[in-house]
A and B are shown apart, each in its own frame.
Chain A
Amino acid sequence: MWEILIQLIVSGIAMGFIYALVGIEYTLIWNASGVLNFSHDKMITTGAYIFGGTYILGLGMDFIPGIIVSLITVAILGIVIAKVIFIPLRNMTMIYTIMATVMLGKIIVEAIRLIWGPVPFSVPGFLIGTVKIGSTVISIANIAIIITASICVLALQLFLYKTKPGKAMRCVAQSRKAAQLMGIDVTSVMTVSVIISMIICCLIGILVSPLLNITTTMSNMIGLKGFAAGIIGGFGYLPGSILGGLCIGIIENIASMVLPSVYKDIVAFVLLIIFLLIRPKGITGKTR
């Protein structure tokens, strides 16, 4: 009984970190441009496809080079998407930004289907297997997620607080107008935010590919729950996303001990609605 609980909590923490990363990536774009990226789940999927596809097609690269190449590819894509979509969208009203990013997402899905075909696949041998810690069995994929996500968050914190572009991003997050008045190039900040967001999305896609098959709908739920993570933690506040993500990950797993597992997905949505009604500022009560 205890083993099951620990396993559930560990995998809950792992998924929680995934949700946290999702919360972080969309928050970065939101803080920089005021656009809520409804295509972020498709970007995660793209990351997985590029990695799996580059790996499988790309002459059977090893995992590490494959990951690096994928991240670089996605960063370049990020520059294009920033210039073509997010920067033009930054001043439009909400309904158009929502619909534009939704359609972008659909276009990405179609492009994926046309390029890689509709058949789901997986990357053989990537992060498979388990490890025994004490008497509990934990999957390597989950460990990889926890470690990678932690490094990612730390790296992001260093970037935001110790580098010039990072500080510029934080300024823009607090107030776009003030940042502009101080001479910060807001469009560059937006581009950098999109690039970082895409890199994180790619990483997420790579990390979850051992858990789910690589298919066009693999990230739909992750995307929606990522929204929930950000809101529960505190919309726009990066550490909030982490807290929110972990909450969802752990709670939904524990709930699956009580509820029929098919209803596990509902937990995140119910939490989202409850928080939006009762405490829209999230657990931390901070935004930005």
Chain B
Amino acid sequence: MKKIKSKQYIVMAATFVILALVPIFINNNYYITILNQMVINMLVVFGLNFITGLTGQMNLGTAGIYALGAYTSALLSRNFGISPWLTMIAAVFVGFLIGRGLGYPSLKMRGVYLSLTTLAFSEIVRIFATNLVSITGGTQGVKNIPRFAVGFIQLDSNVKYFYFVLIVTIVLCLLSIKITHSKWGREFRAVKDNVDAIESLGLDIKKIKIRAFTIAAMYGALGGALYAHFNQFITSTSFTTDLSISYVIMLMIGGIGNIFGNIIGAIVITLLPELLRFLGDYYQITYCILVLLCAVFLPNGLISLYGKARHLYEKKSAVKGGE
């Protein structure tokens, strides 16, 4: 993973500014909903980045974490009238526990085995969510999840909620950048680069891996909680393996390991279904083929396009200069 250069910071900031300006020009509630989901997705991918991007481990269980965050916050706030601020913190705490729980298997397994375990975990969550009808409402779901207020501002419209989620995401983006450039970030990258050397430097690799999972799970659970309060309705049918896969796709398409890549990945994959809608019946298969092509030809994600373009430009100007 390359260090984020200052140029990237500027572009990232610009992206957030553009996103902030969108609601001014677009009033359509449908698109505002997509915008909300997009930003929540970004947040989840920032978390996933710690597992797959930095420590290089596989996680196909994001949907399970997202679901548990969503149900925690939804049920506590709707059934017990607890303030969503507190229930969202509870959701993050649940994420913390899951992270520590899931982190433990990640110590014993590598690669493929871990992907299967996280997959199994996600499915178990989904099956329980579908069948513990008295608690989760099963496929009928949990309705009337409350919105809340930030200070005096009641987040009663989707636009207002969007600005709230945008701010949360920007904060978490900054947090991720800070962690990545800190000593923790170096340790995470070391796990991906060369696992064998870490312990010879006195570092306990178990702690590092569990830490990565915990951070990712906390982000994922928060994302789920924010989704629950946005949509005000959640059902177990949303939290499928397909959702876990979507998040990995966002990570991959943007550029694994790079936070700006996470942003781009989330934007592209959230928007792609809308952009391809005109294909009608063929939209799904086109989407899948596009993603497959990206995985094969752009393994470093869309972010690498910038590097390649700049490389070509430098080559061209070098040739010109030589003439």
The answer to whether A276 and B292 have CB atoms under 8 Å apart is no
Asked whether any CB of chain B lies closer than 8 Å to the CB of A270, the reply is: yes
Interface pick from A75-83, A107-115, A153-161: A107-115
Asked whether any CB of chain B lies closer than 8 Å to the CB of A228, the reply is: yes
The answer to whether A266 and B127 have CB atoms under 8 Å apart is yes
Asked whether any CB of chain B lies closer than 8 Å to the CB of A88, the reply is: yes
Contacts of B185 in A (CB 8 A): none
The answer to whether B120 and A95 have CB atoms under 8 Å apart is no
A272 contact from B112, B116, B284, Cβ within 8 A: B116
Chain B interface, >50% SS class: helix
The answer to whether A231 and B116 have CB atoms under 8 Å apart is yes
The answer to whether A276 and B248 have CB atoms under 8 Å apart is no
Interface pick from B103-111, B216-224, B261-269, B310-318: B103-111
Residue of B whose beta carbon sits closest to that of A265: B127
Asked whether any CB of chain B lies closer than 8 Å to the CB of A61, the reply is: no
Task: Tell me whether A100 and B295 are in contact in the complex, defined as CB-CB below 8 angstroms, given that A94-B111, A107-B289 are known contacts.
Answer: yes
0/1 string, B262-279, CB within 8 A of A gives 1: 000000000000000000
Asked whether any CB of chain A lies closer than 8 Å to the CB of B113, the reply is: yes
Query: How many residues of A sit at the interface, in one of the four size bands?
Result: 35 or more
Asked whether any CB of chain A lies closer than 8 Å to the CB of B119, the reply is: yes
Asked whether any CB of chain B lies closer than 8 Å to the CB of A119, the reply is: no
B113 contact from A95, A111, A276, Cβ within 8 A: A276
The answer to whether A273 and B117 have CB atoms under 8 Å apart is yes
The answer to whether A102 and B245 have CB atoms under 8 Å apart is yes
0/1 string, A96-139, CB within 8 A of B gives 1: 10111011101100110110000000000000000000000000
Those of A181-198 within 8 Å (CB) of chain B: none
CA distance A92 to B297 in the complex (A): 12
The answer to whether A280 and B252 have CB atoms under 8 Å apart is no
B299 contact from A96, A260, A265, Cβ within 8 A: A96
Give A86 Cβ to nearest chain B Cβ, in Å: 13
CA distance A280 to B245 in the complex (A): 24
Contacts of B291 in A (CB 8 A): 99, 103
Most chain-A CB neighbours within 10 Å: which of B60, B105, B281, B296?
B296
CA distance A39 to B160 in the complex (A): 42
Asked whether any CB of chain B lies closer than 8 Å to the CB of A36, the reply is: yes
Contacts of A114 in B (CB 8 A): 281-282, 285
Residue of A whose beta carbon sits closest to that of B240: A220
The answer to whether A280 and B296 have CB atoms under 8 Å apart is no
CA distance A110 to B282 in the complex (A): 8
CA distance A94 to B295 in the complex (A): 12
Contacts of B113 in A (CB 8 A): 231, 235, 276, 280
The answer to whether B296 and A100 have CB atoms under 8 Å apart is yes
30 CB contacts below 8 A, A to B, read A36-B115, A94-B58, A94-B111, A95-B58, A95-B248, A95-B256, A96-B295, A98-B58, A98-B115, A99-B248, A99-B249, A99-B295, A102-B245, A103-B295, A110-B284, A227-B116, A231-B116, A262-B127, A262-B130, A265-B123, A266-B124, A269-B123, A272-B116, A272-B117, A273-B105, A276-B113, A276-B117, A277-B105, A280-B108, A280-B109
Closest 8 CB pairs of A and B: A110-B285, A269-B120, A103-B292, A106-B288, A94-B111, A262-B131, A107-B288, A110-B284
